Structure 1
Amino acid sequence: MATPRHKPDYYSRRARQESFASRAVYKLADIDRKFQLFKPGQCVLDLGCAPGSWLQYISSRIGPQGLVVGLDRQALRISSNPSIRFVQVDVAALDPGSLIRFSASFDVVVSDLAPSTSGIKDVDHQRSLDLARLSWEYANRLLTAAGHYLVKVFQGPDFPPFAQEIKQHFQQVDILKPSGSRSESRELYLLGRRRLKESGAGIG
């Protein structure tokens, strides 16, 4: 029997009706409505993009003149789209610099990377934070000045220091629990807006 967490809910049913690959799209859409992250013609990097609902949403916002590059170990479950490029790869095993074949820099970097959970809160928090730091390595190298960075992190004791570090690199940082996040989920989204030109060498 499925646990309550896995039972179809409003967002799952809506995603099927609207032909999105997963309910996660509504978390990104909620954040975008509030902060207007995506604009026509942008180049966007999507880390942990499978099954592809964020790619679907981003491509609809950036239009045919834009480009969104998605990375994930898992295959996509979406139709091909001229504005989407997908690389099936372990994000931890790829040199971020290799992505310059798609674009020299990106206007927005988003990460929905999530660890395989153990059920042990401290372990899962640390694994999530490791992935968040990995996403920041990509953003720190590839995100343009004035660009935006969005990353998922599980709540825990090491989240505030990570958020504090990110604040040094952006004009504004917000911590969000968007619509579409399950009420029992410990996930938060950290959003850095308008990267500072003098942003430094990243998280040690």
Structure 2
Amino acid sequence: MTDEYRLALEQRATLIEQRITDLVERAVRDHEPWLAAQGPEANDTGTRHSWQAAARMIAAYRDRYGITGTAPLGNHSSFPGNISVFSGCTSDLRVGSYGDTWLGFYRPLITGSQYDIRLDSVNLNAHINANGYTFSNVVRSTTAHEFGHALRLGDHSNLPTRLMSSSRNRNVITGPTTTEVNESNSYY
């Protein structure tokens, strides 16, 4: 890559980062409803950094796809389809509108070391709105649950305090329990 191209890409990256910063600052200043779904900005540094990273990701996504509604990822009619978060990888994490009842979906691919994880934006938004949950907690819980399947953890519907339970409180249980970590480690 020539120095000229490298400089052009660095300038574009700076402009994109500044646009995202401006979008989040405006959302906070104007108390935009989509941001309220994420919960209040935290005071401690670590949690605030995580909150800001999630807000930046959502703001960039909304800006890119012209989402103007109150739901963080838009609604069924405005959702652009499947978005590959990790394009170019042998595994995918996708957010889309799939017309099914699940919030998240895991599917191993041919080799078993590759996978396809999908999050349904319509169902996630409905779940968040119906339960008064924060956006980042529900997405974190659902994504972690689906990654749990990739780590060979099965569903535990009768144990609602576990990440791998479909009946868990997604606003509270956002990561694996010690038991689940140990269970996954025992496979490897």
Report the TM-score, using the length of structure 1 for normalisation.
0.29
Computing the radius of gyration from Cα coordinates, the structure with the larger value is 2
Kindly indicate which of the two structures has a greater share of residues assigned to strand: 1
Report the TM-score, using the length of structure 2 for normalisation.
0.30
